[in-house]
Amino acid sequence: MSFGLLAPLTLAALAFVTTLSRPPTPPVVHSSIRVVDVRGAAALVARGASVLDARDSGAFSSGHLPGAQLYAWSLFTGTGAQRGRLRRDIDAVAAGLAALGVDESRPTLVYGSAGTGHGEEGHAAWLLALLGHGDVAMLDGGIDAWRSAGRPVVTSVTAPRAGRFVARVRAELRADREQVASGAVQVLDVRSASEFGGAVAGGESRGGHIPGALSMDWRTVLDERGRVRPAQRLREALETAGVDAGDPIVVVCSNGVRSGFVASVLAARSVVSARVYDGAMIEWSADSAAALAIG
């Protein structure tokens, strides 16, 4: 073979090897959720964004952002073994959010207590995105970051101005028990290691985890200050947990709150689009026929 023919073949071979050794390109994530710092949050408030405080009522009463309304995730879900699952009447769920001031024509800012809570603000963000809200912002670092920056905190409650919010469900953000049980998706359990190993801490009927599930504590996505980690660190955390970001992912916890936070963060950082199994381990463990792994 002449050198004239060998050179192009050699170059092609080198290009092929380079392609094989190059890490896969992260999938494109189109998310209506973003993470904003205090300055960004203040700008949204100044523009008339609706504001949801996802902490408990006691924390809300002790001080909240001006104009904020209390978001209680359990008002939008069932009871008993369905405590995590959204109510069947999605239009009623959207109407309940609209009654808190959520409006599809304006941004919605959600916040909580960062790493000291259970990610309730992430549940609010996930729910809004699931129902089709186009502009959802999560305050990075929560109320503590706001206070530390010297921003105003009030104890007075402002009556909400009802918004207009029509549900346009994004089914790709949610998973049901059948999808989880199919074995066709990666299941990422974001409860604590002790819960994954069998401890019951979130109201489950039985301890353990879904067979084949991967484990990653939800706080892994936050740094020591309760701030969301950058995209590369999140990718590394998923890789350490054994997750293939190129394949479908379903996030699960006890009742859909911590999983909602993780899914929201991963989407906001454009890492991966993950479904939330909102029925969660409360629903799974209540079914005596559903297998559970221990350890």
Closest CA to 67 of 167, 163, 165, 166: 163
Q: Does one domain contain both 66 and 115?
A: yes
Rounded Cα gap, residues 65 and 101, in angstroms: 14
Q: Is residue 182 part of a domain?
A: yes
DSSP, res 64 = B
Rounded Cα gap, residues 42 and 176, in angstroms: 37
What pLDDT sits at residue 116? 86
What pLDDT sits at residue 242? 98
Q: Is residue 143 part of a domain?
A: yes
Straight-line distance from the first to the last Cα atom of the chain, in angstroms, rounded to the nearest whole number: 60
Instruction: Quote the radius of gyration of the chain (alpha carbons, Å).
Output: 21
In Å, what is the CA distance from 145 to each residue of 154, 163, 218?
15, 28, 20
Q: Does one domain contain both 126 and 75?
A: yes
Q: Is residue 206 part of a domain?
A: yes
What pLDDT sits at residue 29? 62
Judging by DSSP bridges, how do beta strands 214-215 and 249-252 pair with one another?
A: unpaired
Q: Does one domain contain both 141 and 175?
A: no
Q: Is residue 156 part of a domain?
A: no
From the number of C-beta atoms within 10 Å of its C-beta (0-12, 13-18, 19+), residue 294 rates as exposed
* pLDDT tens per residue, range 82-112: 999 999 999 999 999 999 999 999 999 999 9
Q: Does one domain contain both 233 and 143?
A: no
Q: Does one domain contain both 179 and 280?
A: yes
End-of-domain residue from the set 148, 180, 211? 148
Q: Is residue 110 part of a domain?
A: yes
Q: What are phi and psi of 8, to 5 degrees?
A: -60, -40
**What range defines the domain where residue 85 resides?**
33-148
The residue with tokens 């936050």 is: 222
Closest CA to 51 of 109, 96, 10, 100: 109
End-of-domain residue from the set 148, 163, 198? 148
* pLDDT tens per residue, range 107-139: 999 999 987 899 999 999 999 999 999 999 999
Q: Which residues does the chain have with pLDDT short of 70?
A: 1-29
262, 218 Cβ separation under 8 angstroms: yes
Rounded Cα gap, residues 147 and 257, in angstroms: 24
Closest CA to 163 of 255, 52, 41: 52
Q: Does one domain contain both 194 and 277?
A: yes
215-226 b/e (C-beta count within 10 Å ≥ 16 → b):
bbbbbbbbeeeb
CB count within 10 Å of CB 97 equals 27
Look at the chain and report how many structural domains it folds into: 2
Q: Does one domain contain both 132 and 204?
A: no
Q: Does one domain contain both 179 and 239?
A: yes
What pLDDT sits at residue 14? 38
Q: Does one domain contain both 108 and 177?
A: no
Tokens of 251: 């996030």
CATH number of the domain to which 82 belongs? 3.40.250.10
Q: Is residue 153 part of a domain?
A: no
Q: Does one domain contain both 262 and 190?
A: yes
Q: Does one domain contain both 184 and 241?
A: yes
Helix segments in the chain, DSSP class H? 3-21, 38-46, 57-62, 90-99, 120-130, 142-148, 177-181, 193-197, 231-241, 257-268, 280-286
Q: Is residue 79 part of a domain?
A: yes
